[in-house]
Amino acid sequence: MDLKSGYPFWAVKNGLLQAFPKLDQDLTCEVAIIGGGITGALIADELAQHGHDVIVLERRDVGWGSSAASTALIQYEIDTHMTDLAARYGEADAVLAYRACAQAIERLKGLADALGDVDFAMQSSLYYASDESDVDSLYREWKMRRRYGFAADWLPQEAISERFGFSAPGAILTHLAARLDPYRMAYKLLDRVLDAGGRVYDRTEVDNVTPHTRGVTLTTTSGHSLACQHLIVAAGYEAQTWLDDNVAINRSSYAFITDPIAADVLGELASTLVWESARPYLYMRTTGDGRLMVGGEDDDIDIPAKRDQRVGQKAETLIEQVETLFPHLSLNPTFSWGGTFAETDDGLPFFGPHPQYGDRIHFAMAYGGNGISYSMIGADLLRALIEGREHSLAELFSFRRVGD
């Protein structure tokens, strides 16, 4: 799949940080991971740091798929409200999912501190009502979060205007969010995997996968084989091509980034992720060097040639939306891009085995707006499954919920 269009900022900013070898011999390992983006890297690091023999295979260069196009808003807030998840799965599971995302941010902070130089910073998150009709649902959402101990403030229209300089009828302000450079972090995590004794191969494409009683045998397009006890498919949005039935809908999303903007011009935007209640939603956040990154304008077009043609106009539309909210900002898109993303019906990810393949092949589908937080959760969850331990989210995040 062609997963991105235009000039994704992370790839332009960082370039090709490191080249890994191509697999050119037959090998064995305990756990093979297909996918060298941020999801595969987080999972590989989790397993390698706990003594598992890991091999990562990436058919492109590392991080060159959807990770390069990610805008990396790190939040515990799921695209599906806690109130809506509670109505569907019960309050206990809804709260469990939100708490896991909150804990994932703290774990990501610990990783980023250990790795260094991944443009990580804690942020606040402002989730505002796009219009009056959304205020009641946001207020109920805020009340439920507060009831279960999540720190959050309700901001009326006057407070939003005074603190953030734009008008909205109401908003939830939380103080547990973050930003990072997912492309750079993927490389640094895979360096740790190498240091822990793992192996990483890029430009290596898997042609065939054969599960059997004691493991899985992979064959590459160059004719080499890799025998493993467990396989994890962390191939991002391409992972759906492995399944006969779709479990998510692929869409396209668009983004642009500006030149650095002075902190006194950005105000609280400099340390706050901003997103809205409309679906699809406009969202924005800053980078460590003061650039404003803006995304949204999602559409159902997942045809690369058509997405390529839309990048420029989508960026112009996003600029108009931001400048309508913040008339004092005059935005110039230094780079703009589009990319594939996928969303599930309930906004939750899928981690674990699929009945189509048996229990030796696990999937890591960290789909939706919480992809990186989900990937951090999934790393722990998949390690538990491989080690034969129970995990509190194994059932909720499994394929068994499909059709519920």
The answer on 85 and 174 residing in a single domain is yes
Is the pLDDT assigned to residue 283 strictly greater than 60? yes
Query: Does 382 fall in a domain?
Result: yes
Handedness of CA 232, 236, 240, 241 (dihedral sign): negative
The answer on 160 and 13 residing in a single domain is no
Domain total of the chain: 2
* Each residue's pLDDT tens digit, 141-181: 999 999 999 999 999 999 999 999 999 999 999 999 999 99
Q: Which of 351, 377, 346 is nearest to 233 (CA)?
A: 351
| For residues 215-234, average pLDDT | 98
- How high is the pLDDT of residue 5? 66
Is the pLDDT assigned to residue 2 strictly greater than 70? no
The answer on 243 and 379 residing in a single domain is yes
- Residue ending a domain, among 129, 148, 179, is 179
The answer on 212 and 127 residing in a single domain is no
- Residue ending a domain, among 130, 158, 179, is 179
Quote the percentage of the chain above a pLDDT of 90: 85
Query: Does 331 fall in a domain?
Result: no
| For residues 333-359, average pLDDT | 93
CATH code of 18's domain: 3.50.50.60
The answer on 190 and 174 residing in a single domain is no
The answer on 214 and 166 residing in a single domain is no
Is the pLDDT assigned to residue 3 strictly greater than 70? no
The answer on 355 and 240 residing in a single domain is yes
Domain assignment of residue 49, given as a range: 4-69+183-247+347-401
- How high is the pLDDT of residue 144? 98
The answer on 83 and 171 residing in a single domain is yes
Least confident of 63-77, 125-139, 222-236, 378-392: 63-77
Query: Does 268 fall in a domain?
Result: no
Structure tokens at 290: 């003061």
Query: Does 297 fall in a domain?
Result: no
* Each residue's pLDDT tens digit, 252-262: 899 999 999 99
The answer on 147 and 23 residing in a single domain is no
- How high is the pLDDT of residue 4? 56
Three-state DSSP class for residue 341: strand
| For residues 66-80, average pLDDT | 93
Beta-sheet strands, E only, within 115-224: 121-128, 152-156, 170-179, 199-201, 206-212, 215-220
Alpha carbons 204 and 220: distance in angstroms, whole number:
7
List of residues 6+ apart from 304 with CB closer than 8 A: 2, 5
The pLDDT-based confidence of 1 (bands split at 50, 70, 90) is low
| For residues 110-124, average pLDDT | 98
The answer on 8 and 156 residing in a single domain is no
Query: Does 389 fall in a domain?
Result: yes
Mean pLDDT of the chain: 94
Query: Does 277 fall in a domain?
Result: no
